[in-house]
């Protein structure tokens, strides 16, 4: 798969290891958005759920948004005229979400190293919707698990979790195992020894 191989090459070429636990891809996803990288990622994540109908792609503010949008574009090419919507959970409650009109989940930001809260309007995911949960990273799984809980609160069904980068040496998959949904990662980081990013062979799993 050319796109999957290219994603891994771009991380190897542009990513930086920060200590033994942080992968810095701020010229690809987290600060400067490389739209080609996001488009490749979106195409591959869409392929992972090509046998399912998707109503909503859910991510968290803010780094997952570009990937979620490109994933929706790829999905909607296949399932038009029933397009999937992109929804992102907010990390602060705007005044447009009145009391009683939202769901809230406590989570933890690894990059900010502090607790965060995720807010989701109660009107943005219809009851019974098929939801594909997408994010930039899977490390300890706290954000994905929080998004999964928001889907449950909204009455949706999780068809899968999809992430661009997974640190396989952390326990992220265990954190979302209870949802019983498949997990797909595009770039698997196996270690950060000696200041280098070590990747597993590319696979869509």
Asked whether residue 48 is assigned to any structural domain, the reply reads yes
Identify the three-state secondary structure at position 182: coil
For residue 10, give its domain range: 2-199
Flag whether pLDDT at 189 surpasses 90: yes
Asked whether residue 204 is assigned to any structural domain, the reply reads no
Residue pLDDT, tens place only, 26-59: 999 999 999 999 999 999 999 999 999 999 999 9
**Confidence grade of residue 111 (pLDDT, cut at 50, 70, 90):** low
Number of compact structural domains in the chain: 1
Residue pLDDT, tens place only, 87-107: 999 999 999 998 999 999 999
pLDDT at position 1: 78
CATH of the domain at 101: 3.40.50.2020
Burial class (CB in 10 A: 0-12, 13-18, 19+), 201: exposed
Asked whether residue 62 is assigned to any structural domain, the reply reads yes
Q: Count CA atoms within 13 Å of residue 117 on its CB side.
A: 9
pTM score of the predicted model:
0.96
Asked whether residue 205 is assigned to any structural domain, the reply reads no
Place of tokens 């891809």: 25
């Amino acid at each position: 798969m050319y796109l999957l191989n290219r994603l891994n090459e771009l991380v190897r070429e542009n990513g930086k290891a920060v200590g033994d636990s942080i992968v810095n891809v701020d010229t690809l996803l987290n600060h400067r958005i490389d739209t080609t990288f996001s488009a490749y990622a979106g195409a591959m994540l869409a392929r992972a759920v090509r046998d399912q109908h998707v109503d909503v792609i859910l991510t968290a503010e803010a780094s997952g948004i570009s990937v979620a949008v490109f994933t929706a574009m790829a999905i909607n090419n296949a399932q038009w005229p029933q397009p999937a919507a992109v929804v992102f959970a907010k990390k602060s409650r705007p005044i447009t979400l009145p009391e009683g009109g939202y769901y809230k989940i406590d989570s933890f930001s690894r990059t900010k190293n502090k607790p965060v809260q995720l807010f989701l309007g109660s009107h943005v995911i219809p009851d019974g919707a098929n939801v594909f949960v997408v994010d930039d990273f899977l490390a300890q799984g706290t954000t994905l698990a929080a998004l999964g809980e928001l889907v449950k609160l909204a009455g949706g069904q999780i068809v899968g979790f999809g992430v661009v980068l997974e640190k396989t040496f952390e326990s992220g998959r265990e954190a979302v195992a209870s949802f019983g949904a498949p997990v797909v990662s595009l770039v698997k980081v196996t270690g950060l020894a000696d200041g280098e990013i070590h990747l597993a062979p590319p696979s869509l799993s």
